[in-house]
Amino acid sequence: MTDPTTDATTDSMTDTEYQRQVDARARQLLEACFERGGHRSTWSFHAALACDGDAQELVALTGRHLEPGPFNIFPGIVLLHRWGERIPAEAAANIKQMFVGGWQQRGNTENHWLMYYVGNLLAAERWPQEKRFWNGLPTAAMQAEASRWILGMIARTATQGHYEYDSTGYHTEHFVPYLALAEHAGDRHMRHQATQMVQLLLADMALEYFHGAYAGGHGREGNVNTWTQVGPGQALNYLYFGDETFAPERHCQTYAMPAIAAAFRPPALLARMALDRATPHVVRKTKPPRAVYRHVQRPAEAVYKYTWMSRSFALGSTQTGLPGAPAAPIDLTSWDLTWRGPRHQAKICCNHPYRSPLRFSAFLPDLPQRVGRDVGTSKPFLQVPDRLFGASPYEQMLQHEGTIVVLYDIPEADEAPFVNCFLPKGSVWCEREGWLLSDLGDFYVGLRPIGPYCWEDIHEAGKDGNWIDGWLLRIHDVHAGFILEAVEGDAAGSFDQFCQARTTAHLDLTGWPRSRHVSVDSLAGVRLQIEFDGEHRIDGARIDYAAYPLLSAPGVEAPLGTGRASFRHNGDTLELDFDIDPTAPPLPMRVIG
């Protein structure tokens, strides 16, 4: 008899069979969460209720939120909707109190507002008879406000892309609220739009899914970007894609429990797309501009992502569209190479650890004189010189398939006139002609630092063992750069042949930095030419990033601005149509992230 949780998702698998697998994995996750005692929060109490735990434990859990923020507002009301009469009356009263007598905080990021408005919409629909809501207005007023914002953000996402995009930390906090709406909203149109959003967000994940990791650039990732599997999304990955060995300590993620306990089952084709790595392919995505408040002369431009999904590795990069210093989102991860392996052992990335107090006040309303200390005191890792994540206004890059060129033009007076490169300690490196090369088993990688570097190590203690552990190559040059090529072993021959080919292939650094130009050939003979602040060319042809669609990959069509997307795989089709009115003005953007 086969294990229903670990059966391979095959090309021929029916939706019925796929749903049986997801049912089994959901049950496995809920039971493991409960057995581990992970159910003791309003997010994860679904596990207790699904496993016949003591429902009375919820009374204490719901009695703590006198000034609830988005992470309190949302999960309580979802428990009520999902489990109804199973919720003890006193706990239900505590949850209701948040909505009729609390002091709710709306926060300032997209995931905050989504949880806030979804929570309030579901509460307003549940208690329409309440004369006044917590905010002193009639319940209907909150219902209308929440509906406007949610539907407005759905329209923005469907036409311009997801704002707080592809976040290993926060994608789940988008997926789960929309899923709650899809299952519990009273309004039929809201349920329909939310259901489509759930599928769109899952498709976003599926297109860059790589053995439990979310490959490619991330709008928000933070100080765990040397980890292979990161954040609450691990639970969704396992639940919906299921190609990993079950690891309760990673997969029983609190913030994903409402989805794990939900009835929703996606079409099998999204899982099949996620797992289909038979043919290396390019994924392109467009995301909206970053919401910069001030300190720059022009608004940010759209974000364009490019990810090469190969059989043994994924290489992703981002045209961040940032308008220059000091606009540099703190959590953004612009590029990395990821492959299958344990934490710290299967990532390569580099970063300029840009520092400036204005970097915070560009996205926050606080006084520039105070905000650096305010944020830095509570999050000191945002200021450390060894930092490997967070956007730099002085970084630009060009990628073609498994080859990437990353260049920096850092002002001489910058507080951090250098670039940090992370290499795993578990790989064996050799040096030839300025290239560092490694045989990573199924594939080879060659990287060429531009500028003098010194080989250091990096180890930062943190929760779950350690935040970071590996080699740190510090390139001491304001015009640092980094060229990397990853190639499947079967395409490159022996490792020696790879090394020979990579070190002798065309590389022209004579134009850097004086004429701001670098060119390099991939092993396949394709020429990448990048001019800093100028054009990007592949074999002489200029790349038109503005022509990127919302999403593109084999079997995926999603033109920008239409609100329509279609996904085809092995004869199955998923069509999304958000029925966007192209003449309607977009909802004003009022969140950061």
Partner 1 sequence: MTTTLDWGASWLVGARGLHYSAEGNNWQAAGDSNYPVYDLIRQKERILCATRWGLWQIDGDPPCWQQLHDETLTEVLAIAPVEAVTTGDPGVVAVSAYGLACGRRGEHGATLWQSHADGLSLNERFSSAVLSLPKDVGNWLVGTEDGVLMYRVAENRWQRSELTGKPCRALLYAHGWLWAGIDEGGVWRSADGLSWQRGGTGIDGDSIFALAATADGLLAGSLQGICVGDGQGRWHRSGPGLLVSAVAAHCDADGPWLAGATPGGLWRSDDAGSSWRQIGAFDTVRSILPPEETP
Q: Which is nearer to partner 1, 103 or 455 (CB)?
A: 103
- Shortest Cβ distance from residue 42 to partner 1 (Å)? 21
- Which DSSP category does 335 fall into? -
Among 8, 15, 37, 103, binds partner 1 (CB under 8 A): 103
When binding is defined by CB under 8 A, the residue of 64, 189, 294, 379 that contacts partner 1 is 294
Spatial separation of the C-alpha atoms in residues 592 and 109, rounded to whole Å:
5
CA–CA gap between residue 379 and residue 369 (Å, rounded): 17
Is residue 86 within the footprint of partner 1 (CB under 8 A)?
no
Binding mask 7-46 for partner 1 (x = CB under 8 A): ----------------------------------------
Amino acid at 554: P
The least distance separating partner 1 from the CB of residue 148, rounded to whole angstroms, comes to 6
- Select from 12, 52, 136, 465 the one that contacts partner 1 (CB under 8 A): 136
C-beta of 112: minimal distance to partner 1 in Å? 10
Identify which of residues 24 and 587 has a Cβ nearer to partner 1 in the complex. Answer: 587
Nearer to partner 1, 486 or 592 (CB): 592
Confirm if 337 and 418 have CB atoms less than 8 A apart: no
219 burial type by CB count under 10 A (0-12 exposed, 13-18 middle, 19+ buried) = buried
User: Taking a C-beta distance cutoff of 8 angstroms, is the pair 322, 355 a contact?
Assistant: no
Is 152 a binding residue for partner 1 by CB under 8 A? The answer is yes
Told to check if 585 binds partner 1 by CB under 8 A, we report no
Stretch of 5-13, 146-154, 244-252, 401-409 contacting partner 1, by CB under 8 A? 146-154
Phi, psi at 535, each rounded to 5°: -80, 155
Q: Quote the DSSP letter at residue 526.
A: P
Q: Which is nearer to partner 1, 93 or 144 (CB)?
A: 144
Q: Single out the segment in contact with partner 1 by CB under 8 A; choices: 139-147, 221-229, 397-405, 555-563.
A: 139-147
Helix (H, G, I), strand (E, B) or coil at 6: coil
- Other CB atoms closer than 10 Å to residue 128's CB: what's the count? 12
Say which residues have a Cβ less than 8 Å from residue 52's Cβ, sequence separation at least 6.
none
**Tally of CB atoms within 10 A around 56:** 10
Q: Where are the alpha helices (DSSP H) in 263-367?
A: 268-275, 357-361
Helical packing angle, 233-240 and 268-275, nearest 10°: 110
The window from 137-145, 177-185, 244-252, 453-461 that contacts partner 1 (CB under 8 A) reads: 137-145
Please report whether residue 128 would count as binding partner 1 according to CB under 8 A. no
Select the residue interacting with partner 1 from 54, 60, 249, 299 (CB under 8 A): 299
Indicate the residue among 110 and 183 with the shorter CB distance to partner 1. 110
The beta-strand segments (E) located in 336-412 are 336-339, 347-351, 395-400, 403-408
What is the identity of the amino acid at 17? E
Which residue's CB is nearer to partner 1, number 262 or number 330? 330
Residues 18/23/28/31 CA torsion (nearest 10 deg): 170
**Least distance from C-beta 154 to partner 1, angstroms?**
13
Q: Which of 51-59, 129-137, 162-170, 546-554 is the region at the interface with partner 1 (rule: CB under 8 A)?
A: 129-137
Q: How many residues in the shown chain lie near partner 1 by CB under 8 A?
A: 36
Q: Are strands 481-488 and 507-508 parallel, antiparallel or unpaired?
A: unpaired
H-run or E-run covering 103:
none
Note whether 138 binds partner 1 by CB under 8 A.
Answer: yes
Q: Which is nearer to partner 1, 84 or 136 (CB)?
A: 136
- Binding to partner 1 by residue 365, rule CB under 8 A? yes
Is residue 379 part of the contact set for partner 1 (CB under 8 A)? no
Closer to partner 1 by CB, 146 or 473: give it.
Answer: 146
Nearer to partner 1 by C-beta: 358 or 509? Answer: 358
Residue 27 backbone phi and psi in degrees, to 5: -60, -45
**Looking at beta carbons only, is 150 or 421 nearer to partner 1?**
150
By CB under 8 A, tell whether 577 contacts partner 1: no
| 526 sits near partner 1 (criterion: CB under 8 A) | no
Q: How far is the CB of 585 from partner 1 (least distance, A)?
A: 11
Q: Does 64 bind partner 1 (CB under 8 A)?
A: no
CA dist., res. 134 & res. 127, Å (int)? 12
Residues 274-293 that bind partner 1 (CB under 8 A): 292-293
| Of the residues 3, 8, 36, 66, which one makes contact with partner 1 according to CB under 8 A | 66
Dist. CA 79–CA 100, nearest whole Å: 17
**Is 243 among the residues that bind partner 1 (CB under 8 A)?**
no
**Is position 141 an interface residue for partner 1 (rule: CB under 8 A)?**
yes
Q: What would the two tokens of residue 591 be?
A: 């969140």
Q: Is 106 in the site for partner 1 (CB under 8 A)?
A: yes
CB 454 within 8 A of CB 473: yes
Residues ≥6 apart with Cβ < 8 Å to 510? none
Residue 75 neighbours by CB distance under 10 Å: 28
- Let me know: does 312 contact 339? Beta carbons within 8 Å: yes
The answer to whether residue 97 forms part of the interface with partner 1 (CB under 8 A) is no
Residue 296 CB, nearest approach to partner 1 (Å): 6
Could you say whether residue 149 binds partner 1 (CB under 8 A)? yes
Q: Give residue 429's region: left, alpha or beta (phi > 0; psi -120 to 50).
A: beta
455 sits near partner 1 (criterion: CB under 8 A): no
| List 296, 384, 538, 576, residue binding partner 1 (CB under 8 A) | 296
148 near partner 1 (CB under 8 A) = yes
Nearest 5°: the CA angle 374, 351, 375 is: 5
Among 19, 105, 503, 570, binds partner 1 (CB under 8 A): 105
Copy the structure tokens of residue 174: 């988008």
In the three-class reduction of DSSP (H, G, I as helix; E, B as strand; rest coil), residue 84 is classed as: helix
Phi, psi of 164 (to 5 degrees): -85, 70
Q: Does 144 bind partner 1 (CB under 8 A)?
A: yes
> How many other C-beta atoms can be found within 10 angstroms of the C-beta atom of residue 345?
18
Applying CB under 8 A, among 137, 247, 546, 547 the residue interacting with partner 1 is 137
d(CA 254, CA 89): 24
- Is position 298 an interface residue for partner 1 (rule: CB under 8 A)? yes
Contacts with partner 1 by CB under 8 A lie at 66-67, 103, 105-108, 117, 135-138, 140-141, 144-146, 148-149, 152, 292-299, 365, 367-370, 587-588, 590
